[in-house]
Structure 1
């Protein structure tokens, strides 16, 4: 049994997440103690957000010292970020056992730049708190003065459970992004025309195109329910423009009208804004993409 310890009293998002991370990484074989008793803390295997020291070799992850632990960019850690730094990859692998070492490392890094970093900044007063921020939501689980009979440890457990569910979903989404990038990279490597990438599954491609620096890609073909779509790639991430819009004559046409104009018998639609069109089959969508490239 691994004993992990943090302070009692009012809790914040960082200690909730630190515990959720340890639960994910170490499984059910841990025992949580919430106390400020130094003798008890000294006996614990892992101590976070309390204790006055940051010594990963000794399992100590406090960040309240005068000499605060900082990220390489100068941003401050909280206990969540410190624990994630040592246990993040292990937590990812425990949540998704089939991931490779490389994938687990990339997922851990993505969360450290996003969810975990935000928790760290909020806890250190380096981010403006808002009612809807997840850190604020977690801290609302603290019993209020109007609830004098509330069980503080039960409230912490409830908040940490929610943090754990959010952590699991954040890992799942980051892993999906990593796997999507691998899929896009493989498709781009075998395409006969670098301007058209064909994906055999409906994976998200937008970030991958830019992360992989696929500057020649104009259109991405992929399945969408019972049909296939051709999406025009924007010139930059999050832009609503297109590197090469679909032909002007196609805009707003549907079914027979589009089929007659293009010669693609199963063409189904072209959006008036000319950023996406579709066909009933893979071959039809690829044919539309090739026509669009040459337009």
Structure 2
């Protein structure tokens, strides 16, 4: 008789990994932590036990958000114990929740398994860090009670549409049944909700954000070669979100993009029928430009703009001089407007 034939259901069941977390009221961090673990090779088909019983938790292969222990070797990832100060690193200083702990240790594997990138691909770390910054860190901060306003400024309105709030709303209300079967079913919905949001953001950053970054790098090199060797003008052959990438790449020593060089970007608008010239802002959030378009052009349209600029096909220049439009782009002219 073969080994496979000799296996009993009980023996096969012992091979299944078990994820443990606490029962009762659930939160966004452990709901997401469980989802992320099920995107790894080891815990993909894991069962889930929700309990606070130490004896039961000891039978689990990995435990998150309960147990008062953080030990990677023991696969224990709690953050509630006295003295816990773990952060993600890489410039991030927010105290981790169970979501951040699991993402710190398993996040790259999740990115690889979801995007099918090679583990050695540099894009994996780029996406891993980006998803922490844009998605996970806020969950860590909310779960640990870290104010978004360090000076305790009072917000002018309340928002309860963030992911943590929506997960919290899936818990039974005070006057609804709260038996373990009901709460566990709601937890499954919460874990799926957090996972769908995470995968949606990962899909965007892998398939839209990263390609835009690559195009920007290529466009800078091509513009220096074909348009303006000083790097003051960047020409894009297609519309793409460029601002965030430009500032991030300027801050990276290995990117070969010198901070402050770029003054204007030229690109087709979203329709593809006209062109835009936009002044690079002084900083990502600034309304001021490194070099606004000439004052004598500002607020002009159509023929008046063409006459003032000496460039045919003018459509408009914004009154502040941060952006303008034209029907055609004159690629032979590489000088910066006075």
Given the alignment of the two structures, is residue 54 of structure 1 paired with residue 91 of structure 2, yes or no?
A: no
Separation (CA, whole Å) in 2 of partners of 1:115 and 1:242: 29
How far off is 1:75 after superposition? Answer: 4.0
Quote the offset at 1:45 in angstroms: 2.3
From 188, 202, 219, the counterpart of 1:187? 219
RMSD across aligned positions (CA): 2.7
- Secondary structure class of the residue paired with 2:107: helix
Deviates more, 1:163-172 or 1:11-20: 163-172
Instruction: Spell out the pairing of 1:32-181 with structure 2 (5 A cutoff).
Output: 32-71=48-87, 75-98=94-117, 101-127=121-147, 131-132=159-160, 133-148=162-177, 151-175=182-206, 176-181=208-213
CA pair 25-287 structure 1, distance change in 2 beyond 3 A: farther
Q: Is residue 25–residue 87 contact of structure 1 (8 Å, CA) maintained in 2?
A: yes
Aligned to 2:235: 198
User: Helix, strand or coil: the match of 2:304?
Assistant: helix
TM-score normalized by the length of structure 1: 0.86
Q: Distance in 1 between matches of 2:233 and 2:134?
A: 31
Structure 1: 5+ residue stretches without partners? none
Structure ID, larger Rg: 2
Change (3 A) 1:179 1:84: same
User: 1:187: how far off?
Assistant: 1.7
Q: Which has the higher helix share?
A: 1
TM-score (structure 2 length as normaliser): 0.76
Tell me how far apart the structure 2 counterparts of residues 29 and 198 of structure 1 sit (CA, whole Å). Answer: 49
2:264 alignment partner, one of 213, 216, 219: 219
Alpha-carbon distance between aligned partners in 2 of 1:207 and 1:219, rounded to the nearest angstrom: 15
Gaps of 5+ in 2: 1-15, 150-157, 251-258
Q: How many residues align?
A: 291
